Amino acid sequence: MDVVSGLPIAAVLPWGVAVLCVVVLVAVLFRARRPGKDVDDAVLEAVHRMSKATSDLREGLDQNSADRITTQLLEMLKCVAVGITDGRGHLLSWDGEANEHYADLEDGVAAARSQHRREVVAHEKLPCNHRGTCRMRTAVLVPLIVESKTQAVLIVVGRTRGKRLVQMADAVAQFVCTQFELSRLEDSKHQLQQAEIKALRAQISPHFVYNALNTISSLIRTDPEEARELLQEFADFTRYCFRADGLFTTLSEELRNIDRYLTIESARFGGRLQVRLKIAPEVLSVVVPFLLIQPLVENAVKHGLAGKPGGGTITVTAQDYGTEALISIEDDGVGMDPGLLDGMKDSSSSEHIGLTGINRRMGQVFGTDHTLVVETAPGAGMKVTMRVPKFVRGMRPDLPDYDVPEQSAADEQSPARPPAPRGPVAGPAPGGMPAYRGPSRHAASRSAHGRTSQAG
């Protein structure tokens, strides 16, 4: 059963407006070119200039970006001059001629800001000591309005009085406003992702922390070596979950943290919790959102197996699937009624935040065709599957810079604990996929808690 979460319409509209602005702007610029100029050259030049201006506009508006923006717009419009102010009407940058006339345009800039409308100022209305040689004939002042607030005023100075200059100024202003809106949308999206990660951190179950510490405490007298190892795993787990920065990580790092979590839970459950990890090495470098998979594994333990007499098995699989990695978390626990999944989509309950939050993040990062697929039935366990693209432009892992403590002399003298496997040994992974147990530092102690290792 699919759980579908779409992007809000506010996230889609600016992109449509941006495409429309590009089309209109190219058309206007092409019409403004000399009749004998090659059509392809005119269009390519306009698109090239707009692409260069776009990157500057996405950075926001300050002195440096304004200088770059006016230069690009001047080359694109082939006019006399281009200027841009800040939201208070103070000039940030002016590129081209006739800069001595900016002081004469201040009243027009103020009117454009306050009345939220375009102002057209003719050269004849301005004092000028160079009437015969001044190239300015018209100045078009267009307020750049984003979210009902004037963020800047665009000044386009032309050598003609025709409507074409006004059309070009309006088209460029709409293009600039759209880029500002997209920049704000990206900032809002980033802030939302940070807030969701903070929410995931806050939802790490206090019961898990209590149970983990209680398990470690009980082992201190009976098995101090294992207690020491579990304490280190718990410290590494919390350090990863509560690291300060980073929206993305690698699948390898995420699986490493899942390995820590399951090691601690296996110590608590004993032989009641069996774990199977089937990971294709080809997908370990895939970049995924931070804390994408661990909440699903925790959900499988907490809601799938904890209430099942005799425990059960959790299977984490990551397969090479062409241009994507196919990741699934499956348990043979108590399952649930599929009809309840629709209600979970709008639920804010902490019990369901793992599925709803991760489904929403998948849609935001990878698109609505990459949301979760959930298969479940009462008494039949649950399987959650996701498709993660191997390569996404601009998405890089934010790997934590952890300082690895040097091994103490006591650690060097401590003998390794021999493994004491419990439970069945798994066979080869399906489809010839190499098996992977996770990047564990204490492989011997893992199998002592029902962890199963596979050989491809």
Q: Is residue 196 part of a domain?
A: no
- Say if residue 104 is in the same domain as residue 157: yes
Q: What is the pLDDT of residue 72?
A: 82
Q: What is the pLDDT of residue 256?
A: 92
- Say if residue 295 is in the same domain as residue 423: yes
83 class by beta-carbon count within 10 Å (0-12 exposed, 13-18 middle, 19+ buried): buried
Strand partners, 98: none
Across the range 131-150, mean pLDDT stands at 81
- Say if residue 158 is in the same domain as residue 93: yes
Q: Is residue 340 part of a domain?
A: yes
Across the range 35-64, mean pLDDT stands at 60
Q: What is the pLDDT of residue 242?
A: 78
Across the range 153-179, mean pLDDT stands at 83
How do residues 258-308 score in pLDDT, each as one tens digit? 999 999 998 888 888 889 999 999 999 999 988 889 889 988 988 888 888
Q: What is the pLDDT of residue 86?
A: 87
- Say if residue 112 is in the same domain as residue 243: no
260 or 186, which is more confident? Answer: 260
- Say if residue 133 is in the same domain as residue 238: no
Q: Residue 349 belongs to a domain with what CATH number?
A: 3.30.565.10
**Last residue of some domain: 187, 218, 250?**
187
Q: What is the pLDDT of residue 73?
A: 84
Q: Positive or negative, the Cα torsion across 422, 424, 427, 429?
A: negative
Per-residue pLDDT band at 252 (split at 50, 70, 90): very high
103 or 400, which is more confident? Answer: 103
Q: What is the pLDDT of residue 442?
A: 39
Q: Is residue 170 part of a domain?
A: yes
Q: Residue 157 belongs to a domain with what CATH number?
A: 3.30.450.40
- Say if residue 303 is in the same domain as residue 168: no
CA–CA dist 454, 456 (Å, integer): 6
Q: Is residue 152 part of a domain?
A: yes
Going along 132-270, which residue ranges are E strands? 138-146, 149-158, 248-250
- Say if residue 142 is in the same domain as residue 228: no
Q: Is residue 425 part of a domain?
A: yes
Whole domain around residue 303: which residue ranges?
Answer: 203-452
Torsion angles phi and psi, residue 320, rounded to 5: -80, 120
Which of 203-217, 242-256, 381-395 has the least mean pLDDT? 203-217
**Last residue of some domain: 129, 154, 187?**
187
- Say if residue 336 is in the same domain as residue 277: yes
Across the range 190-218, mean pLDDT stands at 74
Q: What is the pLDDT of residue 401?
A: 55
Per-residue pLDDT band at 53 (split at 50, 70, 90): low
- Say if residue 118 is in the same domain as residue 254: no
11 or 66, which is more confident? Answer: 66
**Last residue of some domain: 161, 187, 213?**
187
- Say if residue 386 is in the same domain as residue 257: yes
- Say if residue 208 is in the same domain as residue 183: no
Ramachandran category for residue 246: left, alpha or beta (phi over 0 → left; psi -120 to 50 → alpha): left
Q: Is residue 4 part of a domain?
A: no
Q: What is the pLDDT of residue 193?
A: 67
How do residues 412-421 score in pLDDT, each as one tens digit? 334 443 333 3
Per-residue pLDDT band at 399 (split at 50, 70, 90): low
Number of independent structural domains in the chain: 2
Q: Is residue 254 part of a domain?
A: yes
Across the range 77-95, mean pLDDT stands at 87
439 or 170, which is more confident? Answer: 170
**pLDDT above 90 coverage of the chain, percent:** 16
Q: Is residue 305 part of a domain?
A: yes
pLDDT of 424 > 60? The answer is no
- Say if residue 121 is in the same domain as residue 216: no
CB 233 within 8 Å of CB 263: yes
